[in-house]
Amino acid sequence: MHKMIISTVAIVVLLLGFSSPTIDARAETEVIPLDQPPSLMEKAFLRSLGETIFDVMRHHGDHQLFEFGRIEEITGDDPYDVTLSVIGFEGPHNPPHKFIRMTLRIPGKAEADYTVLSYSHRHLSRKEYRKLTQYR
């Protein structure tokens, strides 16, 4: 009887010890509607990311100021992947304007700093600028 219990415990320990870590495939994604004004929560979250956004822009060669930030999508469950966009400008809100989109991994408890997952930018025409700033 003892041999059977010990054998069962040993098998369970071995199976648990060599099993691969489980990955939660149920990470949620929230898409923020861009055809309406930003919520108070979105504005507050963007303000908290302000220095991070500047750092990422400078690191990618965009030495501009930005305005009209929007969060487009948030995915994950600690850490979070946040896709956001801003409109860069030079001088007193003057052209050339750039549409800048980035995805940042906001660190979990054990991590120390954010990670840039993607970054893109392109110049905006006046028509695109007016359209993009309608709900920002």
User: pLDDT tens string for the chain (136 positions)?
Assistant: 555 555 554 554 444 454 444 444 457 888 888 889 999 999 999 999 999 999 999 999 999 999 999 999 999 988 999 999 999 998 787 888 999 999 999 987 776 789 999 999 999 999 999 999 988 8
Helix or strand or coil: residue 73?
strand
Q: Is the pTM of this model over 0.85?
A: no
Chain segment 27-46, per-residue pLDDT in tens: 788 888 888 999 999 999 99
Identify the residue whose tokens are 């750092």.
Answer: 55
Q: Residue 1 has what pLDDT? A: 56
Structure tokens, 92: 């007193």
Q: Residue 113 has what pLDDT? A: 86
Helix or strand or coil: residue 135?
coil
Instruction: Please write down the HEC assignment for all residues of 29-63.
Output: EEECCCCCCCCHHHHHHHHHCHHHHHHHHHHCCCC
> Which residue(s) pair with 116 in the sheet?
104
